[in-house]
Chain A
């Protein structure tokens, strides 16, 4: 019976597993390609390696700085910590959706009522996650071997990744037994992954080129402790395997002792009364957006800090190849300025992901059938939609500000001037205007042709392609002009243009007002 379930789960998950595997493989393989492409000579790589190895922020983010003057060492350093988090998330989703989510929805009850052993669905879910992680590890190892990098070290990278995923499979399985809702399961399993990453970061900062004491409390630290491409050793793999077994055994023990549908930890009751802040259209919009906004703000701070922590060393780091000159040194401008101009644009494009999803939130609410009851109260259509649009605008402002300020702060902390804090914060903020054009596009689609609302992402897609590949692919000018980001000055290479900013913002405002008017006229479902 477990076999039947396993086949069914694998069939259901085939695309998910495929995309996660390819994405993770690309994460590793692209590092090898970009390192090779970016540094034309070994001397350049050596210079970058010294600079990277002495940067504490990098070590906290990536891991112990080992053999950074080799391509293999660079791949391990830049990809393993993130790769471990990625397979951790994949394992968490795979386990969660076949265990707790099924139990919560009640579908699992049907399966269990059929002639199935009590633990069959759990075992099948475990197997799916184990297989998926094995696939990811194998693909990563094969891609590195094909690059070509040393076979044994490449294998260590792949095997370590699989084992790391297995550890997080075990902890996710345990989380599914302890909690009683899918969200709580993801929360707890995600916390395990976050804790592993944090312990490793703190340990590595104290250890620099070898994991510090705290790193040895983290499965990600053990993975990096395999030391691929810097004198590979296999014994930390035993720690990973051991923790996997321990997690799974404990999860099954808990499973055997709990009732169907329940978790070990009780769900926390919420407030019986709504606070004054929730009792309005805007208050509800804030409640619906705040979780995503908080997540995006933290993520943007992280991205901003990472860019800023490169400091003025970027010249060494990005090398002196023609490729990097072409990308960053626009019209003979300073390489550092060129780099940060692109960094700010990148921050803004990432932040626009929040903008589009926030603008589409209104559509999500309507799809979920939650708008009818609201609009049947004294809340007008205009007020309801405005609530979501206000959150979109204010949220975009916040994530841009956090990203830009984070970049400026980290830059100042690594030896740049304090002036740069305001330069980078303000330079990033100007992209509020084009981001809001994308939001207005989403709002218009929702108001006019709700079925096609998801096309709003196309606006962001075009903007990204134009920003990064426009000149490279020699896209026609009219197509480049479609991206609202193209019309702003590339600060700090060019100086800020208030006229361009005002014009793009005006387009966004007109679009937003038109969306309001169109929404006031259509049927709401």
Chain B
């Protein structure tokens, strides 16, 4: 096995469909051994990126490296080292789930028999049923079992749990963690933020075909705002002058002064100094959730509404 430190490397990727620019200079780097979250709203270019990586679509510009090779030219060879699960799994109605698992596994170059049996058990899948009769969730389970039972270095998952119930979602998360524990790499495109928060080491957020944010969850949180509520003895001097304090509300009561605001995580230290100078009676701070992160980047409308509500 070639030593690869960056299984997925994309730089300035462009893909157009007619006059639409689906990918507009996208960058993405996935390091070996990490679970990388790939977030973005519908139509932002997640699936297009994955299809270019899989050599299904031909790029119009930029650089792409997959497992050290060229995703378009070396497609079939590279694919033996990775497994892909699409969000919308379409199977051959006449084949049973078990047959599909074996077929996809064999085409990837072999299947781990012990893990196959174990995964079918864990996902509670009936492999003797014809695909025609499977629900969306069950079709997804078939693709997941086929992918996870293959002995590959890289998993590419495109919203793989959209049809699974919460119980099966948790089984899926355990399986991905097991996979990472073996030192393997995962690119996980997802809408389910809780899932991303639990699984991902690093996250890239894309919007309109460009990456707008990337880093560990910790780093990303640093870029966002913490919301603070405090009860003070004296009015806080100079709080409104701090660059990075937003939506400040000061509510002077009879005994205490209530303040409520959001602060850019980078300025938290300065702000706390000002607060303690005011004599803190109580303090609650809420770290930013991934959801806020997500909304900040492409939920303009939602954010406006949230501001109105808090005003």
Contact = CB atoms under 8 A, between A and B. Distances in A.
A378 B99 CA distance: 17
A60 to B, nearest CB: 33
> When A and B form their complex, which 5 residue pairs have the shortest distance between CB atoms, in order from nearest?
A274-B102, A269-B128, A279-B106, A377-B107, A270-B96
A378 B76 contact: yes
Interface stretch (B84-92, B218-226, B255-263, B279-287): B84-92
B86 A375 contact: no
Interface in B132-146: 132-133, 143
Contacts of A383: 76
Interface string A278-291: 11110110011001
Contact of A273 (B79, B98, B132, B133): B98
A278 B102 contact: yes
Contacts of B107: 279-281, 374, 377-379
Nearest to B88: A369
Contacts, number: 113
Contacts of A373: 84, 86, 89-90, 104, 143
Contact of A376 (B58, B77, B84): B84
Nearest to B130: A270
A24 B128 CA distance: 42
B122 interface: no
18 contacts: A183-B132, A267-B130, A269-B96, A269-B129, A270-B95, A270-B129, A278-B103, A287-B92, A369-B88, A370-B90, A373-B143, A374-B104, A376-B56, A378-B109, A381-B75, A522-B58, A523-B58, A525-B56
B244 interface: no
A279 B54 contact: no
A374 B54 CA distance: 11
Given A375-B54, A523-B56, A287 B86 contact: no
* Residue of A278, A374, A378, A523 most packed against chain B (CB within 10 A): A378
Contacts of A523: 56-58
Interface residues of A, number: 37
Interface of A is mostly: loop
A272 B128 contact: yes
Interface string B61-102: 000000000000001110110111010111110111011111
B108 interface: yes
B237 to A, nearest CB: 61
B132 A181 contact: yes
B96 A272 contact: yes
Interface string A502-525: 000000000000000000011111
B98 A524 contact: no
B127 interface: yes
Interface residues of B, number: 43
A272 B98 contact: yes
Nearest to A521: B58
A231 interface: no
Contacts of B25: none
A368 B89 CA distance: 10
B288 interface: no
A326 interface: no
B108 A378 contact: yes
Contacts of B12: none
Nearest to A180: B133
Given A181-B133, A273-B127, A288-B92, 6 more contacts: A270-B130, A274-B100, A278-B95, A377-B104, A378-B79, A383-B76
A103 to B, nearest CB: 13
A476 interface: no
A287 B95 contact: yes
Contact of A284 (B84, B90, B103): B103
A378 B80 contact: yes
